[in-house]
Amino acid sequence: MTQRPEQLALAPVTRAQGTMTLPGSKSISNRALLLAALAQGRTVLRGLLDSDDTRVMLDALGKLGIQLEQTAAGLVVHGAPRFPVEKAELFMGNAGTAIRPLTAALAVQGGDYRLSGVPRMHERPIGDLVNALRMLGADISYLGNEGYPPLHIGRGQPDPTQPARVKGNVSSQFLTALLMAAPLLANTAASPVVIEVEGELISQPYILITLNLMARFGVQVERDGWQRFTIPAGAQYRSPGEYTIEGDASSASYFMALGAIGGGPLRILGAGADSIQGDMAFAEVVQAMGAKIEMAKDSIEVSGVEVAAGERLRAFDRDFNLIPDAAMTAAAMALYADGPCTLRNIASWRVKETDRIDAMHAELAKLGAQVESGPDWLTVHPIKPGGWRSANIETYDDHRMAMCFSLAAFGGVPVTILDPACVGKTFPEYFSVYQQLVQP
């Protein structure tokens, strides 16, 4: 086993320009893997992300008896509407996009399964999903703290006649998990399966990704606003034959930011105007801050200011509820704004890979920024020339912390990223791509 590097020193940079190609979307990759596994037929997945999170899903599917075959055309998934292996212990790392939908799919099937993860995963809530699955007759028990993994899934008594209700204000992944599992119940049911959302649904664009992919695999979900979702009786996943996974829009945010603060032009290939990912809306944030955006079908080009020459981005006060992952990039860009920047409605940050509000507050302050934060908001005051401090940035085993703080290298002082290999969760090659685009 190779040892993870303890730190990466980033020298000050003044410009960013060039062309890069995005890795496959994590959100789409793990959804597509599970749907292909549950679909009738054989699916070839092209452009699948190779990262810690997708390896977790692939490992779990293999242990559940799904036949996976890597070919020159892509990953071939031989679907099985019911998992062949009915007893397994599954280690899910810290992959929320893997443990939540797999929990739901296994729970409605029933069996003898244990799901666990890294210590941080055992601090990430799953109780709202478990409660909703129990309404559908699932047998799930907690092996540690109530409301959190690890979990045991037994053989329940499926009852799709009653609506499953789930809270919408903690994580959209709970609703995604229920939606993706529901056709397994609806397939043999005489009536539709209904899922109701209690309260505000956060991160709605991620639900649109789920619905889009379910439709590609043959299941059309009827949506009544964001409060009620109906899966028709007899629904069944069917392979589309081939599916190409687009580039990761959350990862695109770092390169949009590089173009905006490093002058550009910086061209990003793999996702653009035709993207099904909500995080492409981050282009609007970058544009509002003063960058020039040119978007094509599957690419985007960004040109911006040169902060190293004293130019500033425009400050913002925005609601980031719909794009919480990309919002972290905006918090780092705030260091170069012409006034205080406030990110609102980001309570979901607190239940991610780390408590991202506290983590961003602490690490931005290390660089010399004045920062304030609350339960669901963060305000960052830009650092004035001469006010930057060199710092060792803690990443909290959170890939987005490491990638965000690479943007601090435009401050004119060295920045050291601790545990840079944590980017392996979604973008193992991030720092090598970054180094190819920036200039000292």
Catalytic residues, by residue number, are 325
The token duo for 252 is 């695109």
Q: What angle do CA 255, 287, 275 make, to 5 degrees?
A: 60
User: Which residue, chain included where needed, has tokens 């260091």?
Assistant: 335
One-letter amino acid for residue 107 of the chain: A
Q: How many CA atoms lie within 13 A of 354 on its CB side?
A: 18
The token duo for 237 is 């996943």
The token duo for 437 is 């685009």
Closest listed residue to residue 12, CA positions, set 431, 437, 418, 414: 414
List Cβ neighbours of 354 (8 Å cut-off, separation of 6 or more).
120, 396, 397, 398, 401
Give the pairing of strands 263-269 and 299-303.
antiparallel
Alpha-carbon distance of 434 to 76, in angstroms, equals 31
Alpha-carbon distance of 253 to 43, in angstroms, equals 30
Alpha-carbon distance of 160 to 10, in angstroms, equals 54
- CB-based contact 285:319 (threshold 8 Å): no
User: 268 - beta bridge partners?
Assistant: 20, 300
Alpha-carbon distance of 115 to 226, in angstroms, equals 29
Alpha-carbon distance of 149 to 115, in angstroms, equals 7
User: Within 10 Å of residue 198's Cβ, how many Cβ atoms?
Assistant: 13
Alpha-carbon distance of 14 to 12, in angstroms, equals 7
374-to-169, 334, 345, 361 alpha-carbon distances in Å: 17, 17, 10, 10
List Cβ neighbours of 55 (8 Å cut-off, separation of 6 or more).
none
161-to-31, 53, 135, 235, 298 alpha-carbon distances in Å: 26, 34, 10, 15, 42
Please name the residue ranges forming H helices in 95-159: 96-109, 127-135
Instruction: Give 374-399 as a DSSP string.
Output: -SSEEEEPPPPTT----EEE--TT-H
